Amino acid sequence: MEPSLLIYYFSGTGNARNVAHWFSDVASHQQIPAETTDIAKIDRKRITSPPPGSLVGFVSPTHGFNYPPAMMYFIFRFPQSRGNRAFLMNTRAGLKLSKWFVPGLSGIALWLSAMVLLLKGYRIVGLRSIDLPSNWISFHPGVKEKVVESLYRHCKGITETFALKVLSGKKVYTAFRDIIQDILIMPISIGYFFVGRFILAKSFYATDACDKCDICIDNCPVKAILTIDNRPFWSYRCESCMRCMNNCPKRAIETAHGYIIGIMCLLNIGIMVWFWQWVGRFITIPAGNGWAKTGVTLTGWVLTFLVMVVSYRIYHYLLRIPVIRQLFYYTSFTRYKFWRRYKPSRKMISQLP
């Protein structure tokens, strides 16, 4: 029997995966044939068209106020439809302050993908954000287990209610509640897509505790970690999904805050200032000429990006020197004991495959 519900998900640390399974469990309880697919485990370029009449779902974390590129490109390439129904969900960085559940921010995550699917002929019947704990441990210490359990319990119920409604044929557009803030933060989503994510992808390194077990390499959903000089090397394919850093059995993966702040940011700010001064010596951009100004700014950004690529190669080379490795280690906040790694709720997912 062909499945009537197809869910495609991308997940770094398990939140989006769990949401996808909670949704498909609701369908299974109603005897609706459902199939849940991790897009990291399939050939994303060869997707067959969904059977006519089936409901298609996409579930993914939010990265920099957007879907991560793996999910975005998957949706861009997804086969066209003649009227299939589709729903989109994003997991976000939820918080719990005292008794209050505080939502994360979606930005363009759902809107851009919904537009693409609409143009491909899908009827969008559901748009829903789910505020599970943040897994962004390059940025902040992992959320405490008690809070994780509480957010998970809260979000499982929300997902099931959403699933019941969508499966019964209702349209649920809860995401419209956030549309104003989503529009306001749109410029940041664009900045993150073109610049921010590349800086983040270059923030990881393996410390001396690494025993080269290759677990990070084998489990990376986008195969972004290479072996160079017998050490893990994070390539630009990295989506900063946080899986490797959270799952390393030796806790050997750190975020190089010292390198990011001290070298990359300062170096790049310096380059931008120097570039504008250099341009100023040769060209006078007439006041009000927005195009010329944009052109120079874009050239500055391209230059900055190139410097970033080169500086990361030098950084990785320097990591071979023990004293330099120690220097980066001592300036990484993630090395401190209180900087927990993120683990999704064990209680709420124990029944999942």
Ligand X SMILES: Cc1cc2nc3c(=O)[nH]c(=O)nc-3n(C[C@H](O)[C@H](O)[C@H](O)COP(=O)(O)O)c2cc1C
Binding residues for ligand SF4, rule: CB under 6 A, are 12, 206, 210-216, 220-222, 224-225, 232, 234, 238-244, 248, 250, 252-253
Q: Which is nearer to ligand SF4, 110 or 222 (CB)?
A: 222
With respect to ligand SF4, which residue has the nearer C-beta, 115 or 324? 324
Task: Determine what percent of the chain falls in helix, strand and coil, rounding each to the nearest 5.
Answer: 45, 15, 40
Among 24, 81, 113, 135, binds ligand X (CB under 6 A): 135
Asked if 11 is part of the footprint of ligand X (rule: CB under 6 A), the reply reads yes
| Tokens coding 133 | 């704990």
Q: Which are the contacts of 155, defined by CB distance < 8 A and separation ≥ 6? A: 19, 94, 130, 131, 132
The 3 state secondary structure assigned to 108-147 is CHHHHHHHHHHHCCCEEEEEEEECCECCCCCCCCCCCHHH
Applying CB under 6 A, among 86, 158, 241, 319 the residue interacting with ligand X is: 241
Say how far apart CA 68 and CA 62 lie, in whole Å: 7
Whether residue 85 contacts residue 121, with contact meaning beta carbons closer than 8 Å, is answered with no
Q: Which residue from 117, 220, 242, 253 is in contact with ligand X, where contact means CB under 6 A?
A: 242
Q: Are 34 and 5 in contact (CB under 8 A)?
A: yes
Residues 148-187: x where in contact with ligand X by CB under 6 A, - otherwise, as a string:
----------------------------------------
Q: Residue 206's binding partner, choosing from ligand X, ligand SF4, none, with beta-carbon cut-off 5 to 8 A by kind?
A: ligand SF4
Determine if 91 is a binding residue for ligand X (CB under 6 A). Answer: yes
248 binds, among ligand SF4, ligand X, none (CB under 5 to 8 A by kind): ligand SF4
Q: Which does 50 bind (CB under 5 to 8 A by kind): ligand SF4, ligand X, none?
A: none
* CA dihedral angle for residue 26, residue 29, residue 34, residue 36, rounded to 10 degrees: 50
Q: Are 24 and 36 in contact (CB under 8 A)?
A: yes
Partner in contact with 329, chosen from ligand SF4, ligand X, none, beta carbon below 5 to 8 Å by kind:
none
Look at residue 15 and give the partner it binds from ligand X, ligand SF4, none, a contact being a CB closer than 5 to 8 Å depending on partner kind: ligand X
Query: For residues 299 and 272, what is the distance between their CA atoms, to the nearest angstrom?
Result: 10
Residue span 190-229 as binding mask against ligand X, x where in contact by CB under 6 A, dash where not: ----------x-----------------------------
Assess contact for 316 and 233: CB atoms under 8 A.
yes
Per CB under 6 A, 13 contacts ligand X:
yes
Q: How far is the CB of 264 from ligand X (least distance, A)?
A: 16
